[in-house]
């Protein structure tokens, strides 16, 4: 039958800017696209579904709150005094069995984090992140999932 093909948590590793972060026990991600139905006179259903945008990639990483390994140190959260100098980072989910990148988000920024402690329990942490774009192993095998060459950029005309 061969090796298992289904990804499991034991196979998934989280890398932030290429560095393995071992305190997470759960990671979720989502890619959402906005589509607008076009209704026209003389028809009950939409005549077309028109793509209008793609939302930022949304990620949530949860795990254990390790002393001296908080969100500012290991997950690129930005201190208040450093917000003007904040820089993007990347997050990758890698399959340790095959070495393939299962999902990667680029242009990431931490939008918030929370933590807590309880009697007779381990302290947890949750870090919420958004990114400019994300792709899975299929997108990467297709040469990446960037905008087309005709897309505008912030540096156009500068």
pLDDT over 80 (residue 18) = yes
Q: How far apart are CA 78 and CA 82, in angstroms?
A: 6
Domain chopping of the chain, boundaries: 12-30+55-141
Global confidence as pTM: 0.87
Q: What pLDDT is recorded for position 67?
A: 93
3-state helix, strand, coil in the chain (%, to 5): 10, 45, 45
Cβ atoms 106, 23 nearer than 8 A: no
pLDDT, tens digit, for every residue of 30-65? Answer: 999 999 999 999 999 999 999 999 999 999 999 999
Mean pLDDT of the chain: 92
Give which of 12, 25, 103 is closest to 62, Cα–Cα. 25
pLDDT, tens digit, for every residue of 90-115? Answer: 999 999 999 999 999 999 999 999 99
CATH architecture of 12-30+55-141: Beta Barrel (2.40)
Give which of 130, 126, 122 is closest to 106, Cα–Cα. 130
Q: How far apart are CA 57 and CA 139, in angstroms?
A: 14
């Amino acid at each position: 039958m061969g090796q298992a093909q289904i990804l499991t948590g034991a196979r998934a590793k989280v890398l932030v800017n290429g560095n393995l972060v071992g305190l997470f026990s759960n990671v979720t991600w989502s890619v959402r696209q906005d589509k607008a139905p076009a209704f026209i006179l003389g028809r009950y259903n939409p005549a077309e579904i028109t793509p209008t945008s793609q939302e930022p990639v949304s990620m949530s990483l949860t795990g254990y709150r390790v002393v001296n390994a908080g969100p500012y140190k290991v997950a690129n959260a930005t201190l208040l005094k450093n917000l003007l100098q904040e820089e993007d980072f990347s997050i990758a989910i890698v399959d340790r069995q095959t070495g393939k990148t299962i999902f990667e988000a680029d242009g990431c920024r931490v939008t918030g984090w929370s933590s807590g402690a309880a009697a007779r329990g381990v302290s947890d942490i949750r870090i919420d992140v958004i990114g400019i774009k994300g792709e899975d192993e299929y997108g990467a095998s297709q040469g990446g999932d960037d905008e087309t060459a005709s897309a505008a950029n912030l540096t156009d005309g500068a």
